């Protein structure tokens, strides 16, 4: 989520699915990584003039060695933070690809059963959109506001979520 430069940034996050599991990246190898020791999908920041799909495909290939052949654009997540630049994260799922999985220089890749996902060390807001992905929610807009690592506000499709619906 974000970096300390002015202006909002765009990024992608892809959850590659196989046999009831997502390919998750345990972020352990990058220095000064906001996501250090957290589990996330694969993805990254847009390059100049990239469309969301182009960024998702490029980042998935760079981090996994897989060329995605079937994917869905699932939602837009707006991250607001008291520490980091606002980020618009374009969220995708994918279930077909070519190529062979390779090691990632940002962390360890692991197929994680969807039933185990919420027990991993995740951003609190990620738990919200992972549940939306699992329920096959139509395209959604999710706004998440953090103070430090604490999720302090969440809004789904313009409606504020209560603490009970967040957890």
pLDDT in tens, 142-151: 999 999 889 9
**Cα angle 63, 42, 7; round to 5:** 105
Helix (H) or strand (E) holding 33, with range, is: none
pTM: 0.89
pLDDT of residue 163: 67
Mean pLDDT to the nearest integer, 55-66: 97
The tokens of 49 are what?
């003039």
Spatial neighbors of 129 by CB under 8 A, at least 6 apart, are 75, 77, 91, 140, 142
- pLDDT of res. 83: 87
pLDDT at 30: 60
Strand ranges inside 32-163, DSSP E: 39-40, 42-45, 67-81, 87-98, 107-113, 140-147, 150-156, 159-160
């Amino acid at each position: 989520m974000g970096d300390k430069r002015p202006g909002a940034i765009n990024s992608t996050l892809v959850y590659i699915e196989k046999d009831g599991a997502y390919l998750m990246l345990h972020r352990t190898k990058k220095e000064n990584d906001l996501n250090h020791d957290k589990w996330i999908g694969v993805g990254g920041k847009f390059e100049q003039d990239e469309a969301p799909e182009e960024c998702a495909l490029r980042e998935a290939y760079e981090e996994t060695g897989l060329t995605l052949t079937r994917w869905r654009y699932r939602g837009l997540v707006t991250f607001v933070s008291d520490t980091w630049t606002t980020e618009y994260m374009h969220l995708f799922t994918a279930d077909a690809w070519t190529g062979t999985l390779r090691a990632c220089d940002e962390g360890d890749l692991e197929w994680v059963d969807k039933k185990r996902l919420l027990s991993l060390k995740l951003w609190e807001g990620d738990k919200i959109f992972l549940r939306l992905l699992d329920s096959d929610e139509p395209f959604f807009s999710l706004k998440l506001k953090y103070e430090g690592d604490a999720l302090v506000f969440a809004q789904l499709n313009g409606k504020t979520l209560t603490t009970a619906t967040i957890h």
